[in-house]
A and B are shown apart, each in its own frame.
Chain A
């Protein structure tokens, strides 16, 4: 039956990251304090989001924005960050495409 292997994907092929639903907390030092994201969600990606969130909050001061919350809305995903005592709470959610 090995001839069917021709049609199967290689075992080690790349898979897209599953967009997660959950949240994590960034401390005042930029470190991730806690997370409810799935355990298979890559840590480097979480850190990348944390860095983007921290930088966005930090640079808001220069633009004279008293930033308390922001959301980056993608085609199928949403990242919401809320400032919390020097750190931030970050919510990740897949968007309902509302296909009805």
Chain B
């Protein structure tokens, strides 16, 4: 078997493609680098020939990098994926993480960043020879399992295995009602299980009538959990996963891929599988209700609701929360921009404040309710008649306000 890897490089900017092709050509194994500037073309190329790795930009027209990564993960789970973006925000990182991306990083620009980037890509290529990719579909994380259970309002028992430790979660109608971990039960157990990374999950038949011990406090969702993602290994992982900034170190086999560059951090993607005897994480780790019981997920249970985005105007920066939105940051930005523009128009016309915004896009009827405390955007399926949508919106608003 030839050890020469094939890398597919995708960026909508042809100049960037050339730059990164030159960078990747410095890899020790002299991989075969093929390039394209469109996601559609990338999919065609992936179908036509076997690639070891896909290196893609995330912000692209038509099909963006995340959509492409989702497709690649589903259809070619063995392909290693590297996602690059010029702007890395937390939301984007979480979404890339959800796709099971192997490396997620800002586009390297300085020579040191490039060197670090190449070190990690090389290590990932070497790993590709020996270990199969853990696809999020093949081995779903606990958060993903809970998300699916929550969406389907299923009832089940989820067995969670973390090295030599084991825990169980009881799910009823999509909500976690009880959890048991090593030596703990209820909320503490849920906290512990959710902080484990690299777990194996098994969905077992439901146990109706199991007592409810999870109080499901309405606190903030833990990072990565509101979108059904795996918990944040970067926060919980021991410092040993961090390479020293001055001496970049390739990820260990099956380890966390965390890129630290001088002055900034390239975010980790893979949760580190447990070591031989992983200690149970401290019970003080942040926790919040799983997706099945988050406030927006609750609101989304109303008939005909396709997605929800909430912009709370608390603090200097509006807090954004979403459920079912493909690109919440962009949608939030557009909503804020539109409301601000029409607020100015209203001021000039002396027409009062904008109280409501209605939008019709291809498949959805979107209703934006503007309140002093923020605004709530709800996307309804177009099949829902307007009267029904209005009634549902009233119901959702009453719940949201409370």
Residues on A facing B (Cβ under 8 Å):
16-17, 19, 45, 48-49, 51-52, 55-56, 59-60, 62-77, 79
Contacts and interface: CB of A to CB of B under 8 A. Distances in A.
A35 to B, nearest CB: 16
B331 to A, nearest CB: 5
Contacts of B334: 56, 59-60, 62-63, 65
Interface string B317-350: 0000000001100110111011001101110111
**Max chain A C-beta neighbours (<10 A), residue from B327, B348, B360:** B360
B358 A73 contact: yes
Contacts of A77: 346, 349, 351-352
A17 B344 CA distance: 15
**Max chain B C-beta neighbours (<10 A), residue from A56, A62, A67, A72:** A72
B3 interface: no
A52 B361 contact: no
A67 B337 contact: no
Given A63-B331, A64-B326, 9 more contacts: A45-B348, A56-B334, A67-B360, A69-B360, A70-B338, A72-B354, A74-B351, A74-B353, A77-B349
20 contacts: A45-B348, A48-B345, A52-B344, A55-B337, A55-B341, A63-B327, A63-B330, A64-B326, A65-B334, A66-B361, A68-B360, A72-B342, A72-B346, A73-B354, A74-B352, A74-B354, A74-B355, A77-B346, A77-B351, A77-B352
Contacts, number: 99
B1 interface: no
A79 B342 contact: yes
Given A48-B345, A52-B341, A68-B360, A76 B330 contact: no
Describe A's contact surface by its main secondary structure. mixed
A87 to B, nearest CB: 17
Contacts of A49: 345
Interface of B: 326-327, 330-331, 333-335, 337-338, 341-342, 344-346, 348-363, 366
Contacts of B353: 74-75
Contact of B352 (A51, A64, A75): A75
A17 B345 contact: no
A70 B359 contact: yes
Contacts of A64: 326-327, 330-331
A17 B349 CA distance: 6
A66 B331 CA distance: 12
A88 B363 CA distance: 20
A75 B355 contact: yes
Contacts of B338: 52, 56, 59, 70, 72
B126 to A, nearest CB: 37
A49 B351 CA distance: 13
B352 A65 contact: no
Contacts of B366: 65
Contacts of A71: 356-359
Contact of B345 (A52, A59, A62): A52
Contact of B330 (A48, A51, A62, A66): A62
**Max chain A C-beta neighbours (<10 A), residue from B326, B351, B358, B359:** B351
Contact of A63 (B333, B349, B354): B333
Contacts of A72: 338, 342, 345-346, 354, 357
Contact of A69 (B346, B351, B359): B359
